Amino acid sequence: MATPLLKRIKIATVSVPDLDQAKDIYKQWLGYKAVEAGKISAEVATLWGAPAMAGRRFATLQPASKTDVYIRLVEIERVGNYRAMTTWGWNSVEIVCEDPEKLHAKLGKSPFMIVGKPRRLKGYPTICATQVRGPGNEILYLTADLGNPGTGLLPKPGATVGRPFIMVLATGDAEGTRNWYCDTFKMKRNPINGNPVDIIQDAQALPPTHEFPLTIASLADHGNLIEIDGYPALTGPRMRNHGQLPPGVAMTSFGVKSLDAFKLQWLSTPVTLKSAGYEGKRAACAVGPAGEIIELIEE
């Protein structure tokens, strides 16, 4: 089996209507601190295929573990009709943590909205996850392996709240999306299974018996995954302000060995960036089959 061309998750970009508020919430409640902040350059806005982002504010946040995996907050104008887990695109960020039950109790007093109580995963009884909705209508899964911390499927958290390790992608065609990722990035083609997911059922007003076609695709580095969730016919592409990044979880950045390995249609010519997450390496963006923005960064 070939090694997947996507090495690891590097940056989860989240669009928020109020950058200062979101930055404070992530710092106070998740321990994520800004390592870089400023205004998005025209060069970066062009890279993302979102020219209206030029001049808008951003903050790149790092977990308390100091690992070089980031959540980047970008400020957009509010998209009034956007509701989390109802449209295609990057849907959720799954973050490794030390104890979801303690975190759930803490975040119940925070501006985060609890959308899923701590629960053990079916088939993986030591893995526990809780879910919250953040200030940009982004969904965060907070997950731990309570039986085998750092030795099982998950990376080590290194802090109360660690790094993103799974990005969840919603699509109207689970099989087609899986095949595109597997073919484009040389990833193992795992089976698609039907699963009820209560937080998505609730968001879409579906009955508790509704099953979503789900699968995962593993990246090269341990504990880095993409989860693909198939959404029903009543869903569609995510609305966004003209020229801006989409609301919620807007983009995923992946580390790769070389951009030259890909035959993707880039949104613009690859550029070299010095900021956090890039470290002087080239980056380029493309659009995936569900309309999701994929950023590839050499490392």
Residue 269 domain-assigned?
A: yes
Return the pLDDT at 125.
83
Residue 35 domain-assigned?
A: yes
8 Å CB contact between 142 and 129: yes
Say which residues have a Cβ less than 8 Å from residue 20's Cβ, sequence separation at least 6. Answer: none
Q: Which domain holds residue 266?
A: 8-298
Residue 91 structure tokens: 């849907």
The residue ranges of the chain whose pLDDT is under 50 are: none
pTM score above 0.95:
yes
Residue 1 domain-assigned?
A: no
Return the pLDDT at 165.
97
Residue 97 domain-assigned?
A: yes
Predicted confidence (pLDDT) per residue in 37-71, tens digit:
999 999 999 999 999 999 999 999 999 999 999 99
For residue 24, give the CATH number of its domain. Answer: 3.10.180.10
Return the pLDDT at 121.
84
Return the pLDDT at 152.
73
Please state the domain count of the chain. Answer: 1
Distances (CA, A) of 179 to 114, 176, 192, 220: 33, 5, 11, 17
Return the pLDDT at 148.
65
Find where tokens 């010095």 sit: 274
